[in-house]
Structure 1
Amino acid sequence: MRINVLQHTPNEGPGMIEDWADIHGHTIYTYHPYQFGTLPTAAETDLLVILGGPMSPNDDLGWIKQERDLIRELLAANKPIFGACYGAQQIVKALGYAVTKAPAKEVGWAPVTLQTETIPDLPAQLNVLHWHEEMFEVPAAAELLFSSERVQNQGFVMNHHIVGLQFHFEPRANNVREMVVNDYPYIAGSALGQSAADILATPVPTANQGTLFKILDYITTD
């Protein structure tokens, strides 16, 4: 399987998605459209991974719109797509739904709770890394997958092959450190009330990797 990854900032990479790909013998190609303006074609994509970033799907930038064109082609072809944070918002925006300011800015570790058992054997609650202040509207064809205390729409699953998450399962511990040391000013104003030191002192829960792997297995299996 060819996994095409759209990365939108140097400090938010695929993380444990690489581990899943290695286990299954898949090949990852990472694109940086914000810098190079290059995107894969739908024909050469078996799984599209759309990562987070500091931009908004509401920004009037050509490459952001081109990403959504690619997403629509993959949706029409019923190919799997996984979106994290901005990536989930891009999927929603490509479907014609809204991305708006969230009720609270969430930066740091906080629990999300499972809202549907459509994907088998996921934990009822997980402690995950949040790094956002916008949120997506859940498409009519999708199911709400995760919620948090402050932001209801934390994840969705659609048509067996699409999952979007407002938060991050993918970072390893070194990825969390990279996010914090480079983007620590963004922590200010978070409703979670955590400092950079607090975020760094929290271990990445082992359940996050297993859950991420189950989600990727689910969307890539008919």
Structure 2
Amino acid sequence: MSSKAEKDKQKQIQDRCLSLLNQMLKDDDNKYCVDCDSKGPRWASWNLGIFLCIRCAGIHRNLGVHISKVKSVNLDSWTPEQVVNLQQMGNSRARAVYEANLPDNFRRPQTDSALEAFIRSKYEHKKYIAKEWVQPPLPKVNWDKDIEEEAEKQKKKKREPKPGSIMRSVPSIVPNPLPKPISLSPKLSSNKKPVSTDSNHSTDLLGLGKKLNLV
């Protein structure tokens, strides 16, 4: 595969990843940070399958990548496997798993130190996790076929003429007006003197002839 084709493919993968991530963020439970309930999370721990605010994302980074692997939704590159793992979990299911044994009267901490202690208890020590929970393996995803089909659709769209383009491409044909016939009769008639039918004129001619005969 050429470098240009590979770049185009990677761009299509990233575009699709971002589209799916933004779609997931429209889910009601994903609109809030899974740990502190802050609105509008733009970070995620893809191996845990959760969406986070920037403050909780920083705490998750401190846990180490063996516990939580954090990425920015917009600023980082994503793989299909990471996105699908987030799809399979999400904040709602993650709370059901990692907060299964949370006390009923529990109030989410807001100070940095209390929040970090809660996050460590939740993910590092698994204090509140559902006992029956087993972490599934990372899903295997192959978008090659889907991307190729989408690329083929785009090529077909480019080849197809847009509605009305055929009519615009053909120049409008305006019939040339037929040349007016050239009439010679007016000129001839203007130079030709009318023949007089006056009887007096005929008499003069006859009279002239008589005079000539006398001479």
| TM-score (norm. length: structure 1) | 0.20
Q: Which has the higher helix share?
A: 2
Q: Which has the higher contact order (CA 8 A, sep 6+)?
A: 1
Normalised TM-score (structure 2): 0.21
